[in-house]
Amino acid sequence: RAEVVINGSLSPAVVDRSNESIKHNIQPASAKWRHNQTLSLRIRKQILKFLDAEKDISVLKGTLKPGDVIHYIFDRDSTMNVSQNLHELLPRTSPLKNKHFGTCAIVGNSGVLLNSGCGQEIDTHSFVIRCNLAPVQEYAQDVGIKTDLVTMNPSVIQRAFEDLVNATWREKLLQRLHSLNGSILWIPAFMARGGKERVEWVNELILKHHVNVRTAYPSLRLLHAVRGYWLTNKVHIKRPTTGLLMYTLATRFCDQIYLYGFWPFPLDQNQNPVKYHYYDSLKYGYTSQASPHTMPLEFKALKSLHEQGALKLTVGRCD
Ligand code: CTP
């Protein structure tokens, strides 16, 4: 019986001291990659022992009432109260209820997407997941446009929308939200203290302007469950990134999973410089010390899954 080896010796990656510039030739190359259905099904089953994406993708309206107190997942001593607006925006049923897709794309935010020409391919997938409200229009050729689910860490409001300091920034965010046009907006509202006001601003905008999005707020157990799954497979992540969370959730409702824009390294496979994000000027230092993420370690695990056919990583051009 074939084993799922997620962090084993299948990928002989050479890690330097900073752990940032693994020599990572992605093999097999695009044309030779074959989906391993048996393995994908086994991974889905294993992950279901830890979490159920259908349930954990969002807290449901019926389980909370306005005024309820929630302890932040990473700051257990800090609490928040469920506001009227938040309660109003909680879904009544899971946005993934009974959902099933042949192929899904998860689009990470690495600059490796620039000049990839992957937009068209990404848009052909039945379900497209994007991260942190990353812009699409101006980069359509490389990243596509189709968006079925997009995440929004509260910090994005600060980083990409200047904390809505004036009407111009509020309008920018509003336009971005309107452009989502019925897709799922996934807001981790209960993870860490500090994002409370930002989440409230967004909730207020959505309600006030009748923005057509289906909001979802991940369950209180999701983070620990995802971490538990990967730890059990010897992938010692401190705090899973949005990208890894999305992959873990997607195994539940996607038969085949294609990853684009996952490349947490400053040089590409041909040693050309790669921007940290395809759309802004954030620097790499951001990943290492300041952030609790361990992206290169996650990447190694995803690469190993690519090699075994459980997912497909694209880190070059799509044509
Ligand atoms: N990503 C990557 N390589 C990069 C940048 C991002 O692999 N150079 C992937 C990661 O999986 C990441 C996802 O793309 O989670 C989305 O990027 P970003 O918005 O930076 O993700 P976050 O994990 O939310 O980062 P942070 O918590 O720092 O906001």
Handedness of CA 168, 209, 219, 264 (dihedral sign): negative
pLDDT (0 to 100) of residue 74: 85
Question: Is 100 part of the annotated catalytic residue set?
Answer: no
CB 110 within 8 A of CB 276: yes
152 CB neighbour count, 10 Å cutoff = 27
Q: Average pLDDT, stretch 48-71?
A: 97
CA-closest candidate to residue 274, choices 33, 108, 121: 108
Q: Report which of residues 172 and 238 the model is more confident about.
A: 172
Q: How far apart are CA 275 and CA 93, in angstroms?
A: 39
Supply the residue whose CA is at minimum distance from atom 19 of ligand 1.
Answer: 132
Ligand 1: nearest atom to the Cα of 155? 29
CA-closest candidate to residue 236, choices 300, 171, 190: 300
Tokens (6 digits) for 64: 């909370």
Q: How far apart are CA 91 and CA 29, in angstroms?
A: 41
Is the confidence at residue 285, as pLDDT, over 90? no
Work out the pLDDT band at 194, boundaries 50, 70, 90.
confident
Mutate which of 19, 107, 109 to test ligand 1's pocket (most atoms within 8 Å of Cβ)? 109
Residue written as token pair 């195994």: 251
Residues with CB under 6 A from ligand 1: 108-110, 131-132, 153, 155, 241-244, 261-264, 276, 291, 293, 295
Q: Average pLDDT, stretch 235-250?
A: 95
Work out the pLDDT band at 286, boundaries 50, 70, 90.
low
Averaged confidence pLDDT in the chain = 91
CA-closest candidate to residue 72, choices 280, 218, 267: 218
Ligand 1: nearest atom to the Cα of 108? 14
Handedness of CA 189, 191, 196, 202 (dihedral sign): negative
Catalytic residue among 24, 125, 277, 293: 293
Taking the centre of ligand 1 as the mean of its atom positions, its distance from the CA of residue 87, in whole angstroms, is: 28
Is the pTM for the entire model greater than 0.90? yes
pLDDT (0 to 100) of residue 294: 87
Taking the centre of ligand 1 as the mean of its atom positions, its distance from the CA of residue 241, in whole angstroms, is: 6
Supply the residue whose CA is at minimum distance from atom 11 of ligand 1.
Answer: 243
Q: What is the pLDDT of residues 75-129, one digit of tens each?
A: 888 999 999 999 999 999 999 999 999 999 999 999 999 999 999 999 999 999 9
Q: How far apart are CA 86 and CA 72, in angstroms?
A: 15
Percent of the chain whose predicted confidence (pLDDT) is above 90: 82
Is the confidence at residue 280, as pLDDT, over 70? yes
Taking the centre of ligand 1 as the mean of its atom positions, its distance from the CA of residue 248, in whole angstroms, is: 15
CA-closest candidate to residue 11, choices 31, 30, 35, 27: 27
Taking the centre of ligand 1 as the mean of its atom positions, its distance from the CA of residue 68, in whole angstroms, is: 31
The yes/no answer to whether this complex scores an ipTM above 0.90 is: yes
- Please give the backbone phi and psi of residue 214, each rounded to the nearest 5 degrees, phi first: -105, 105
Taking the centre of ligand 1 as the mean of its atom positions, its distance from the CA of residue 36, in whole angstroms, is: 26
pLDDT (0 to 100) of residue 120: 98
pLDDT (0 to 100) of residue 16: 38
Mutate which of 131, 156, 291, 300 to test ligand 1's pocket (most atoms within 8 Å of Cβ)? 131
Work out the pLDDT band at 5, boundaries 50, 70, 90.
low
Work out the pLDDT band at 24, boundaries 50, 70, 90.
confident
Supply the residue whose CA is at minimum distance from atom 14 of ligand 1.
Answer: 108
70 CB neighbour count, 10 Å cutoff = 16
Supply the residue whose CA is at minimum distance from atom 18 of ligand 1.
Answer: 109
Mutate which of 26, 133, 242, 305 to test ligand 1's pocket (most atoms within 8 Å of Cβ)? 242
Taking the centre of ligand 1 as the mean of its atom positions, its distance from the CA of residue 242, in whole angstroms, is: 6
